[in-house]
Amino acid sequence: MEEDKVLPKHVGIIMDGNGRWAKKRGLKRSFGHKAGADNLEKLLKHIFNIGIKYVSVYAFSTENLKRSKEEVDYLMDLFVKYFTKKKKIFVSEELKVIFSGSKENLRNDVLAGIKEIEEATKDLKKGTFNICLNYGGRKELCDTVKKICEKVMNDEIKIEDINEDLITHNLYQDLPDLDFVIRTSGEMRISNFMLWQSSYAEYYFPETLFPDFDSKEFDKALLEYQKRNRRFGGVQ
């Protein structure tokens, strides 16, 4: 078995089901988001300890701005708290934290939190933790097209230079392709998550709601990944 078949290099997690987790317990949706954030901390430790190098999580989509002001405010408060409180943990775990997403419509304290944590972890090498916040796959492609057009207009590159690698290198972050994407809560859709990066990813859709998706569930997912036969268009 090839090495990349044993362990995915880049795992994406669409952390869905926080609201339903809370509803099942007769709690407000915000409790589900808090439980999801607590779960993420433990889960990340586990995933990076296994030896996986890149993890991308979908924390807030561009479309999530449609939710009530109360919920959006709660989530933004949670991100700010999470970044400040967990900064030490990321540093001690030697994880480089990066963000993917649009800076438009984000509060100043959220932007400041992003800058602070990226700066504090930029030289760390055990693994890369990419947080998709105010992220949309289509928006990322629009922003990338704009970035590339500017480079063409400034004579930094020629139109003939545009190819798949160039697009990959001009996305919000320059990351390897996703090998494995997990979406919790039983929903079987992508909801605009890392469209370019997931073109040959394996997908896994457990029924478990994200706050309950623990290390054991992750290991189960990994076993499933290891059974998949990735062909990339070839014959086998």
* Site of interaction with ligand IPE (CB under 6 A): 14-20, 58-61, 64, 75, 185, 187, 189, 191
Are 213 and 184 within 8 A, CB to CB? yes
**Of 4, 16, 161, 212, which is the active-site residue?**
16
- Minimum CB separation of residue 115 from ligand IPE in Å reads 21
Please say which residue, 16 or 143, places its beta carbon nearer to Mg ion. 16
Specify whether 77 is catalytic. no
Q: Is 4 one of the catalytic residues?
A: no
DSSP state of 152: H
Residue 191 binds: one of Mg ion, ligand IPE, none (C-beta under 5 to 8 A by kind): ligand IPE
Q: Residue 80 CB, nearest distance to ligand IPE (Å)?
A: 15
First vs last C-alpha separation in the chain: 14
Residue nearest ligand IPE, CB atom distance: 19
Q: What is the DSSP string of 148-174?
A: HHHHHHTTSS-GGG-SHHHHHHTSSS-
Whether the Cβ atoms of residue 18 and residue 189 lie closer than 8 Å to each other = no
Query: 100 touches which of ligand IPE, Mg ion, none (CB within 5 to 8 A by kind)?
Result: none
The least distance separating ligand IPE from the CB of residue 103, rounded to whole angstroms, comes to 17
Task: Give min distance, CB of 211 to ligand IPE, in A.
Answer: 9
Rank residues 16 and 179 by Cβ distance to Mg ion and give the closer one.
16
Q: Is 82:99 a contact under the CB 8 Å cutoff?
A: no
Judging by DSSP bridges, how do beta strands 54-61 and 10-14 pair with one another?
A: parallel
Q: For residue 11, what is the enclosing H or E element?
A: strand 10-14
Catalytic residue, candidates 64, 77, 170, 177: 64
Number of Cβ within a 10 Å radius of residue 126: 14
Give 55's strand partners: 11, 129
Asked whether 211 and 39 are in contact (CB, 8 A), the reply is: yes
Q: Which residues bind Mg ion (CB under 5 A)?
A: 16
Q: In the complex with ligand IPE, which residue's Cβ is closer, 20 or 220?
A: 20
Q: Which residues, 6 or more positions from 117, have their beta carbon under 8 angstroms from its beta carbon?
A: 83, 87, 90, 97
- Count Cβ atoms below 10 Å from residue 31 Cβ, excluding itself: 18
Task: Closer to ligand IPE by CB, 14 or 221: give it.
Answer: 14
Considering CB distances under 5 to 8 angstroms, the limit depending on partner class, which of ligand IPE, Mg ion, none binds residue 213? none
**In terms of CB distance, is 21 or 218 closer to Mg ion?**
21
Work out how close the CB of 16 gets to Mg ion at its nearest, in angstroms, rounded to a whole number: 4
Distance of CA 196 to the CA centre of its chain: 13
The catalytic site residues sit at 16, 64
